[in-house]
Structure 1
Amino acid sequence: MKNRKKTAVILGATGLVGNELVNILIQQQNYEKIHLLVRRPPDSHDPVCEVHVVDFEQYYSYRELFQVTDVFCCLGTTIKKAKSKEAFRKVDYEYPVEAAKMACESGAEKFLMITAMGSNPKSRIFYNQVKGEVEESISKLTIPSIHIFRPSLLLGKREEFRFGEKIAEKASILLNLIMIGPLRPFKAIEAKNVAAAMASMARTGKGGVNIYPSHEIERIAIENN
């Protein structure tokens, strides 16, 4: 039914993209309930949102929360923040795959997730390899509609200060001015545009596995703004 109210789960709701996504979904009023799975509670939230402070090591015990129409996965970290490759893989591979499996078991209609530009399971770069592996694993599941977003460098206000990313962000803002033609796919992108694109594709009836490179994400966000 076109006007049926939906329900959703958002993982990584307090992150850079996740926070923007929560705000957009609240404004659109297409969901009667949005479950936020977080490590720590947000400062505030709308009544439509139900906050669940979860222990991701006991992830499967929250499987009942995945009985929703749409699951948004905005989880992601860096090796520096995670402290080790093993810890990074747990956040960027194990948690999203477990979430997708629970979504599949619960009959969710859509699974929408963020990976990264350069995702490739055969990459020699560990970061890109893990991102590619998580895409590959989730794409094999029988969820009716899977949407994978591959943004370039994300621009926006982060909760934590990352010196290297802050320098790269400032440089990217200047470089974006000359990123035209064949360079356009490499432009840095605003986190709010990634969130807008995710929200937009959640409203479509498009099925199968769909992958969106960064410039396509920006196009979707602009066209549906």
Structure 2
Amino acid sequence: MEFKAKDVKSDRIERSKQLIADFSKGYADGWAFIVRKCNFEALDIIWSVYKERDKSTKNSKIVYEGWTQGEIYKFPTGATFYDSVRVYDNIPWSEAKKLVNRCIQITHSIPMSKNTSGKVRYELYEKGKGITKNQCTQKEFVQILKTGVIPASGKQTIISTVSDAQSANGIVENKSEYKGLPSATNKANPKLTAKTKTKSLKKNPQHYIQLGLFD
């Protein structure tokens, strides 16, 4: 379902209450690569509060409050994704990387905008095949993460390919602050009201996304 924020006059962009994936497990369920809640900003998923004015009382009331989905993707340089959720368990990296068959890391990024498709240059590691350097649009990159299918050469530029022997450390460790999967739920702070959550999210959105307080 798509709707418009009636109280926003300057930027009426349609957003959907239906997210691009099911994140109930803390990551996009069924996707080829593990994309987590800490990637919400890149996926244009934001916490939205929409209001409308009551004509009789002239007061505003909240008609919807929750996560909404847009289509302006902006995956940043350095973002890394693996095909195994076990990578995010509390196990040594030396053991975790043995569980990975495919890993993808962005080496250069230009965000999407209303008028441009953006660009993503990335390195794809595949066990037994080495590393292939490619580029695509931001929207195509989302589909790669979802399906694991690399677009045909007609749509994508293959820059270079190296073997496993040439890339001894093939898989890159994700040293992001948000490496772990969300573990807490609303029960972690039952007194946290919707108003408080929204106010706090604006100050530190990644903190609440990581804790999974909006599950």
Q: Is the pair's TM-score, using the shorter chain for normalization, greater than 0.5?
A: no
**In which range does the TM-score fall when normalised by the shorter chain?**
under 0.3
User: TM-score, length-normalised on structure 1?
Assistant: 0.23
Q: Which has the higher strand share?
A: 2
User: TM-score, length-normalised on structure 2?
Assistant: 0.24
Q: Which entry has the higher C-alpha Rg, 1 or 2?
A: 2
